[in-house]
Amino acid sequence: MRKAFHSMRKILIIFLTTVCGFTSKAQTEKIEIDADYLMVKEASGIKPISVQAEFIGFRNPPSDDANWKPLLYKVSKNEGEDNEVLEKIKAEKAKLRQAAMLNGIPETPREKTTAVPKSPVLGVNFAGQDNSANYTPLDNTIAISDKDTIVAFINSQVGYYTATGTNYYTRQIYNLIGDGTLTNAMCDPKVIWDNTSRRFIFYSQVCDMISSHSKIILGFSKTSNPSNGWYFYKFTGDPLSAGDWWDYPKMAVSTDEVFVTGNLFNEASGNTFDQSVIMQIQKNPCYAGTTPLTHVYSGIANAFTICPAGYGQVGSYGPGILAVSSLTYSGGATNYQFYNITNKIGGTPAPVLNTYSVPITSYSPAGNAPQPGTGITLNTGDCRVLDAFYLKHTIHFVHNMDVGSGYCGFRYCRMDTKTLATGIKNIGNAGTSDYCYPAIASAVNDSVDNSVVIAFHETSPTIYPRACVLAVDQTGALSAPVVVKAGIANINTGAGPDERWGDYTGLCKRFGDPAASLWMAGMYSGAGHYWNQWIAKIGPKNVDVPTVASEQVTSQVYPNPIVDRYTVKFDVPERQNVTINITDMEGRTVVELYNGIVESGENTFSFNKGNLAKGIYSLNIIGTRNNIRNEKIVITGN
């Protein structure tokens, strides 16, 4: 029997620090690298070319019929920098995993910590966009306005939500854009909230791997409310006119511009990787429906999936932008790439791209991840950077990697943009489960505090694929993980022996919220053996009470308000370990009421209120394979 996930689960943690560790000076502006560190510069002054943006027009179509939910999807291919090399590495990692299952994994030295940070707290959570078309993967992305309007995507569809979970708008991306010249094969959406301009920006692309069809679409909301419509722009996905098509986008916004990066694959050479490029687009003309100036940087050595870093809290930075990338498929990569676009379009001096090679402790891809009840594994991908943000001259970023014996986990890195010194933490659960496809966001509103929340997905031979979060504080200490949404079955869409698991997890900050809340768009395995989207509010403390119950644990507390003695009833689908505790509204544990085995079916547990003072608390029921259930309880009387 597995031990309770939150309190006793073994977590593999490796903390490695080079030069600066997890300490850096306060800084809110993009700054240049110290002259002493210029010896690591790989390329100076890469100049951009200009490309033309085509204004498609203003669009504001009605929502699709919620009763019919029409869906049309095209499955995209998972292209990497060198798929043949990557598959050979994964095959070797599968052998390591098998040996570890038979013989155990080597003991890893654990870091010494004096305090464990509080785990993130799950708030209101609800089902996201419908995936009844059995699409894989979902490519989740999410953004929320300062008026609590949520925009969330799965691969070819968008939904608008209230912060309480009401889905009041749903539309296929192709139909929302309304350009009949596009191929109806839209995928890889990205959405961000530009908190200084108070507008949404979203990205999508044509995904049929045909160079002449390859197009990039950017949408800019006319107002802070997406229901008031979008201005749409179209760009070629073959910016170098080399017979390429565009894939694996990343997007971030600076003070003056939007930056979109992508990988180019050459159609004539069998869809092999050509190069990575960066697109720099003026944003203010796009908010007004006029034509922006646009630059493209190419010829960037040793790059695959360049990840631009937007600002991590309220505000922005610039001019230009900072970005990072990793070596994706190497059996033992020992460096990252750091990028600086030096100015805005039209600035003096003219903007150029400088690149730097940053030495780092080695990393490599993991083996694919097993699931319960099937020989079909989930593809853990490679080591490309998946998410990043910038704050006080530090870039925070995450990527997948082997954390031991072929098991997948992820690396969290803090890179000082003034000295290029790095602090890293490898996070996983080697020997037990696989963590994969992380996303990262600032956990606080204080720019001096480096604390973050990381969202990710997990599976194992005994855990159906599920969505999770954890916290890393200023010192680098790691919280216990929290299950955001438990899986129900294994994934089996008939795609083959390795099912797609990524490629993206959505995590965004609710800018301006005094509680420093975040929102996650993750995925879990549904009863139909395909992926479903789940949207959740995440906070450093009890941000609110969930409005949607877990599918696998139900409970009832009575009487409520509580005067003397109270009873909790709950159902579990199977015999398992369950923890019942009470936390205050700040998320602090007040008392652990029970930690032990319960039988399947309905259970009743009664106890006195004890020494609880008058007030409002949260009753939490935590099972080994079930989602967290929080219920507000009120204590009255003495």
The pLDDT of residue 565 is above 70: no
pLDDT (0 to 100) of residue 114: 47
The pLDDT of residue 423 is above 60: yes
Q: Under CATH, domain 12-35+43-59+87-539 is a member of which superfamily?
A: YVTN repeat-like/Quinoprotein amine dehydrogenase (2.130.10.10)
The pLDDT of residue 443 is above 80: yes
Q: What are phi and psi of 173, to 5 degrees?
A: -60, -45
Any idea which architecture 554-635 has in CATH? Sandwich (2.60)
pLDDT (0 to 100) of residue 392: 87
239 or 12, which is more confident?
Answer: 239
pLDDT (0 to 100) of residue 80: 53
Q: What would the pLDDT profile of 330-386 be if each residue is shown by its tens digit?
A: 667 899 999 999 999 999 999 999 999 999 999 999 999 999 999 999 999 999 999
pLDDT (0 to 100) of residue 10: 35
Mean pLDDT of the region 95-112: 55
As beta bridge partners, residue 387 has 398
The pLDDT of residue 179 is above 90: yes
Of the candidates 366, 388, 361, which has an alpha carbon nearest to the alpha carbon of residue 454?
388
Mean pLDDT of the region 303-318: 95
Geometric angle at alpha carbon 535, from 534 and 541, rounded to 5°? 125
Share of the chain above pLDDT 70, in %: 75
Domain positions in the chain are: 12-35+43-59+87-539, 554-635
Which strands form 41-46's sheet, in the order they lie side by side? 41-46, 353-363, 333-341, 321-326, 307-308
Of the candidates 225, 229, 181, 235, which has an alpha carbon nearest to the alpha carbon of residue 204?
235
Q: What average pLDDT does the structure give for the chain?
A: 82
Task: Categorize the per-residue pLDDT at 25 as very low, low, confident or very high, splitting at 50, 70 and 90.
Answer: very low
Q: Of 126-140, 353-367, 507-521, which gets the smallest average pLDDT?
A: 126-140
The pLDDT of residue 628 is above 60: no
Task: Categorize the per-residue pLDDT at 29 as very low, low, confident or very high, splitting at 50, 70 and 90.
Answer: low
Residues 6+ apart with CB under 8 A from 311: 254, 317, 389, 390, 391
Distance (Å, whole) CA 337 – CA 500: 27
Give the other-Cβ count within 10 Å of 349's Cβ.
8
Task: Categorize the per-residue pLDDT at 270 as very low, low, confident or very high, splitting at 50, 70 and 90.
Answer: very high
Q: What would the pLDDT profile of 575-626 be if each residue is shown by its tens digit?
A: 677 788 888 777 777 887 777 667 667 666 656 666 677 888 877 787 765 5
The pLDDT of residue 210 is above 90: yes
pLDDT (0 to 100) of residue 469: 97
Residues 6+ apart with CB under 8 A from 310: 192, 252, 253, 254, 316, 389, 390
Of the candidates 411, 523, 420, which has an alpha carbon nearest to the alpha carbon of residue 464?
523
Q: What is the pTM of this model?
A: 0.79
Geometric angle at alpha carbon 501, from 303 and 536, rounded to 5°? 105
Number of H helices, E strands in the chain: 3, 42
